[in-house]
Amino acid sequence: MPYRIRKRGNKYEIVRLTDNKVVGRSDTRAKARASIGYRMRAHKKKKK
Q: What does the pLDDT look like over 8-37, one tens digit per residue? A: 999 999 999 999 999 999 999 999 999 999
Segments making up each domain of the chain, as ranges: 3-47
Q: CB–CB of 15/32 below 8 Å?
A: no
Tell me the pTM.
Answer: 0.82
Q: CB–CB of 14/5 below 8 Å?
A: yes
Q: CB–CB of 11/27 below 8 Å?
A: yes
Pairing of the two strands 21-26 and 3-8: unpaired
Q: Which residue has the higher pLDDT, 1 or 30?
A: 30
Confidence band of 3 (pLDDT split at 50, 70, 90) = very high
pLDDT of residue 36: 94
